[in-house]
Amino acid sequence: MLFQDFEKIGSKQWKNLIQYELRGADYNDTLVWESLEGIKVKPFYHNDEDLVTNEVITTNTAFSILQEIYVHDFEKSVLRANDLLKRGAESIRFIIPSENVDTAALLNSIAAPKAVYLQLLFLDEAAILKINNEASKLPYKVFVLLDPVHRLLWDGNFFRDGETDFSILNNIEKTALNINWLTVNASTYQNAGANMIQQLAYTLAHTNEYLNRIPGFSKNVTVEVAVGGNYFFEIAKLRALRMLLNTLSAEYSSNITFHIIAKPTRRNKTLYDYNVNMLRTTTECMSAILGGADAVENLSYDALFHKTNEFGDRIARNQLLILKEESYFDKVDNPADGAYYIENLTLQLAEKALELFKDIEKNGGLITQLIEGTIQRKIAEAAAKEQLLFNEGKEVLLGTNKYPNKQDRMAHDLELFPFVKQNPRKTLITPVIEKRLAEALEQERLEAEKNA
């Protein structure tokens, strides 16, 4: 009854008061700003003009902490996986380099994960059916991460060729009934510099390529995304993604579900003042969880320049454990419901992405536009726009283009090559190149170190 004693104040009254306080300055020019995606952000949101949709259902209480292992040595990989599970990881992603890895033995050697993800770096129907047969005996979910379209855009070629790859996928659809195998890896779009509307539209078009080419598909689709540093926008991006995917799937089959894996982007990570990467990945993991990711895999603070190591892995895992066990991010489903700002961003991103998606489909679909080079050109334009802002100091990476530590030295600490690698060869298309914002600046500093 308390609030009945107070007069309700609408958005119009708030705007009038703000305009008065501005003393003649224009409200829109002064307080409304526009993002790289062309989305206008207001200084306040109100329930008489900003709708609460409640259209996005997220199960944050069930999100899983995921960690990755490249299977180079079978025995060491098994030992490491079980150790990670004992120390807080809940699911494991195994990167499988070839058909020679005994996936059946691998799956039976893991102790009680929530799920196991097998990322295959090859396309082999017999290997996938072997995994499918073994999965029927296991008490946990098995996901096979297999994405020929991502292989095309990232590598420049399909695994074999487009017709053969999709023929194999159609065969798998008929026989692999015990595993989740269809994957849309959309992380490259973000890591290459696409803006959020492009990321969403390309992910939707990417998904649509499979639903178009695998008639009757009605199972789970695993969608991988990279999460950037624009905190509230990234929450809205994941919510908009689920909304758009559900809208798309309704046109094919109501039985299609989506399992979203999120991982911090590499685009804003830095070589110098690398401890700041821990702050970046923490907020990016927060966005992923609040946005509704089903599994979150953190990026180690030193992933750019160190080989996989126990300390970096432990820190990355503990960041997620703190969010889950000490910050209680897994205690409430749909935590963004009713936040007018996030709801507004979600709707704007979804509407603009849907418009771009329709344009892509009207012009032949994602694969056609990749072959024509349209997608690569559009991403390059968006990346160049963001790069210019970084170069001018308007897009800030603390410790790199703002407040850098001039005494910081990294040349002696590089175990990995942290920059874009060029591998000129004949490909079907020009690959979409992932590149970090700080690369040119870091190369200058490394050169200066050598010459000092």
**Domain extents for the chain?**
2-41, 60-341
DSSP 61: G
Backbone angles phi, psi at 153, to 5 degrees: -75, -30
User: What are the DSSP calls for 402-429, one per residue?
Assistant: BS--TT---GGG-SS--SPPP-----SS
b/e burial code for range 81-103 (CB count within 10 A of at least 16 → b): bbebbeeebbbbbbbbeeeebeb
Confidence check: pLDDT of 254 > 90: no
Residue 372 backbone zone (phi > 0: left; psi -120 to 50: alpha; other: beta): alpha
Q: 60-341: which CATH topology? A: TIM Barrel (3.20.20)
What are the start-end ranges of the H helices in 148-257?
148-155, 162-175, 187-191, 196-213, 231-250
- Global pTM reads 0.95
The candidate with the shortest Cα–Cα distance to 60, out of 291, 279, 395, is 291
Predicted local distance difference test score (pLDDT) of residue 53: 64
Tens of pLDDT, residues 174-209: 999 999 999 999 999 999 999 999 999 999 999 999
Cα 49 to Cα 52, 95, 202, 213, distances in angstroms: 10, 48, 30, 41
Residue 81: partners with Cβ closer than 8 Å, 6 or more residues away: 69, 92, 94, 109, 110
Confidence check: pLDDT of 286 > 70: yes
pLDDT confidence of 5, banded at 50, 70, 90? confident
- Amino acid present at 410: M
Predicted local distance difference test score (pLDDT) of residue 51: 66
Confidence check: pLDDT of 3 > 80: no
Cα-Cα end-to-end distance for the chain: 72
Predicted local distance difference test score (pLDDT) of residue 6: 81
Confidence check: pLDDT of 49 > 80: no
The residue behind tokens 């396309």 is 123
Average pLDDT over residues 158-176: 96
Predicted local distance difference test score (pLDDT) of residue 4: 79
Residue 218: partners with Cβ closer than 8 Å, 6 or more residues away: 252, 253, 255, 256
Least confident of 156-165, 175-184, 337-346: 337-346
Q: CA 132 to CA 141: how far, in whole Å? A: 11
Residue 446: partners with Cβ closer than 8 Å, 6 or more residues away: 410, 411
Average pLDDT over residues 135-140: 94
- Amino acid present at 156: G
Contact 114, 88 (CB under 8 A): no
Supply 338's token pair.
């009713």
Q: CA 173 to CA 71: how far, in whole Å? A: 26
b/e burial code for range 291-324 (CB count within 10 A of at least 16 → b): bbbbbbbbbbbbbbebeeeeebbebbbebbbebb
Contact 31, 261 (CB under 8 A): no
Cα 208 to Cα 40, 205, 289, 360, 364, distances in angstroms: 29, 5, 25, 11, 12
- Amino acid present at 168: I
pLDDT, the chain, mean: 95
Contact 379, 194 (CB under 8 A): yes
Q: CA 148 to CA 428: how far, in whole Å? A: 13
Supply 18's token pair.
């703000």
Confidence check: pLDDT of 98 > 80: yes
Tens of pLDDT, residues 317-337: 999 999 999 999 999 999 988
pLDDT confidence of 57, banded at 50, 70, 90? confident
Predicted local distance difference test score (pLDDT) of residue 54: 62
Backbone angles phi, psi at 310, to 5 degrees: -60, -40
Predicted local distance difference test score (pLDDT) of residue 2: 75
What are the start-end ranges of the H helices in 11-147?
11-21, 27-31, 74-86, 103-108, 125-135
The candidate with the shortest Cα–Cα distance to 431, out of 224, 157, 153, is 153
pLDDT confidence of 52, banded at 50, 70, 90? low
Supply 233's token pair.
């926008």
